[in-house]
Structure formats: structure tokens, C-alpha cells
Amino acid sequence: MWKNRNVWIILTGEFIAGLGLWLGIIGNLEFMQEKIPSDFLKSLLMATGLVAGIIVGPYAGKITDQKSKKTVMLWSGLLRTISVIFMLIAIATGSVWWMLVFFVTIQISAAFYFPALQAAIPLIVKDKDLLQLNGVHMNVSTLSRIIGTAVAGILLVLLPLSMLYIGSLVAYLGLLILTWFLNFEENTNSSSEKKNTNGKTSFKDVLPVIKGLPIVFMTLSMTLVPLLFLGGFNLLVINISELQDSSAIKGWIYTAEGVSFMIGAFFIKKISDNFSPYKILFGSSLLVGVSQMMLYFADVFAVTIAAFLVFGFSVGCFFPTASTIFQTKVPKDFHGRFFSFRNMLDRIGFQVVLLLTGFLLDFIGLQLMCVLYGGLTAIITIVFYLKNKQIRTAKLEN
């Protein structure tokens, strides 16, 4: 795997793009803190971009299955690069409306880019290497987040806010150039299949495939559980910072969660040798609930960091396992539509949780909300576990 040039291009591109992404995210938080006082209005603004991604999701899935994955990645990467210009205009004019345009365009870009990337990875390496590559890929993403947030914090002190987005623009241009050098063999169908793909393929065709694969359906459902934490993650960070009256806590939180995520993703290959994918998913999900409940003590620095360490490790095990299940169990001809469908579910989940988090933060406060989310996560996990046990028992009896 490590002799494959495409692997190094994907990982290097992910690192560079991650730096740009997190420079932009920290910039977004700073800009919104200055311009928008309400947490609910902040969440509403971010959710608007997610809606745009959901709307184009079905089209993105069809295009990814019909066209070259590399071509889709190139065009979506170009749109992502252009989107940063809108944020620079927002800073120059002090306009929240230009930030809205930025959110919409960058989310549309993501709606095309990430299904294409997930569909391309199984074409680059063999199935036996997928879990390792997924883990390494997520670790590279996390490392870029740690470095990106640290660099962003330094730049905010030393330079104008616009320089964060200049750095983001340069990073996205770098990713665009690297993507151009990808070279892998696309999935080739017979002429009759090709004709059907181009002419009669429907986005809805992926639904019977998901329904007919219980492990895929269960895993897809389980991926929605961590969204209760991830959906409002940035709003949580802002509120913890205000609760502890510390700007530095933001960097500590992102660093703790990121390092712990890397540890989980690094050891996932060894963990998977001793535990089934289901045990990893359910165990990780319960840990997410524990980390949420720990944030009832979000006014205590040590407990806050411990909570994000627990959360980082749990999702570091969870997501590589889920991605590998999807890439190996779902037929490759459906990868574009499936990963687009998954992205749509994630975006809808993010949108709902983002709006709910903004509302609850204004209504009941951070600490009670985290207890509520933690309890809900534990209940959902137990329900899924019992349902899975029931299905497996029924199979054995038959």
C-alpha cells in the first residue's frame, strides 16, 4: 500500500486541505462571535449551508457513479477554492450575507467532493488495506486539524482575520493541484451496464441495496449517534470558552480531542482483531454518551479535557470501522450514490442537531443540554444493540 503513489497523494492532499479547512473554521467562529450575538442565529446561519448540500446530494451521487471520480473531485475542489473569495468579501464589507454565500458554496462543493473521495479510495487499494488506510486517512485529517487550529490561534493574535482565509485559499489550491496527479483505474462496466448507468440510473436505486444489507443499514443508523456531539461541536467550544472565561481552552479542546482521535484510529486495526465491528460501534457509541455527560462539569478545566479525550478516542475507533464496512459491503457500482446518501443523512443530522443545540444553549444552558444529549445517546445505543441482538438471534434460529 505504501508504494502506491495515489495513497501518498490522497494523504498529502488531505493534510493540506485540512489545514485550510481549520484555518477557515476558526476564522468563521471569530467572525460570528463578532457579528452574531445569539447562538441560535449562529446555528441557523451554518445550517443554511448544510441545506444547500442536502439539496444537491442526489445529483452529486448520480454524477459520481456516472463520471470519473477524479473529474468530480477536481471540479468540486475548484468550487471550494472560489468559495473562500466570498468570505474575504464578507470580512472586507462586514456583511453576514456574504458569509452565507460562502457557507452555501463550500457545502455544495463538499456534497460532490466527499462521495467521490470515498468512492475512489476502494479503487486505489485492496480491500484488506482499507481499514488501515481509512484509519491513517482520518489520522492525517486530525493532525491537520491540530496544527491548523494552533496556527489559526497564533495568526488571530498576530495578523488580521483575512489572513486566515488567504492561508485557506492557498491550501485549497494546493489540494487542487495534487488531485490533478491522481491516476487510478475507474470502475469499468460492460456496455449494457454502462448504458443503464448513464440513462436509467436513479438515486433511489441505492435504497433497496441498503435495505438488503443488514450490516450496512445498522451501521448507517449507528453513524447518526455521534452527530449528537459533532453537530453542535463548534457551538459547544464557544460556550465552554465563555463559561470558563478562557480563549485558550478552545485550542486545548481541539488538541485533546484530536490527539485522542489519532490514538483510537491508530489502534483500530489491532482492536478489530479482537472485537467484531458491531462491538466496536456499540462500545464507541456508549463512550460518546459518557463524554457528553462528563460535560455537566464543563466549568472544570480538567474534566472538560478528559471528556474530549474520551470522545476523541471513541470516534477514532468508530468512523474507520464504519467507513470500511461501507466500502467493502456496498457494491462499487453504487458507491457514489451510497456515499452521497450517507452525506445527506449526515447533513440532515448536523442541521437538526445544530439548530437544536443553538436553541437548547439559549434555553437551558450548556451543562443541562450535555446531560440530556448523553442520556439520549445511551438510550439510542442500547435500543440499537438490542435490535441487533434480536436480528442475529432470528438468523441463527432460521
Rounded Cα gap, residues 355 and 365, in angstroms: 14
What pLDDT is recorded for position 202? 63
What pLDDT is recorded for position 217? 83
The architecture that CATH gives domain 5-181 is: Up-down Bundle (1.20)
Query: CATH for 204-395, among 1.20.1250.20, 3.40.50.300, 1.10.150.120, 1.10.3720.10?
Result: 1.20.1250.20
3-state secondary structure of 58: helix
Dihedral of alpha carbons 250, 23, 31, 50, sign: negative
Give the start-to-end residue ranges of the domains of the chain: 5-181, 204-395
What pLDDT is recorded for position 99? 86
Matching residue, cell 457509541: 285
What pLDDT is recorded for position 371? 92
What pLDDT is recorded for position 287? 92
In this structure, are residues 20 and 171 in contact, taking their beta carbons and an 8 Å threshold?
Answer: yes
Per-residue cell: 95: 456583511
Residue pLDDT, tens place only, 124-135: 877 677 777 877
What pLDDT is recorded for position 398? 60
Rounded Cα gap, residues 210 and 23, in angstroms: 36
Reduced 3-state DSSP string for 88-132: HHHHHHCCHHHHHHHHHHHHHHHHHHHHHHHHHHHHHCCHHHHHH
What pLDDT is recorded for position 196? 45
Which positions of the chain have pLDDT values less than 70? Answer: 1, 127, 187-203, 391, 394-398
- DSSP letters spanning 255-292: HHHHHHHHHHHHHHHHHHHHS-HHHHHHHHHHHHHHHH
Matching residue, cell 474530549: 308
Instruction: Look up the pTM and report it.
Output: 0.70
Domains 5-181 and 204-395 are alike in CATH topology:
yes
What pLDDT is recorded for position 372? 92
CA distances for 59 relative to 54, 63, 274, 355, angstroms: 10, 6, 40, 25
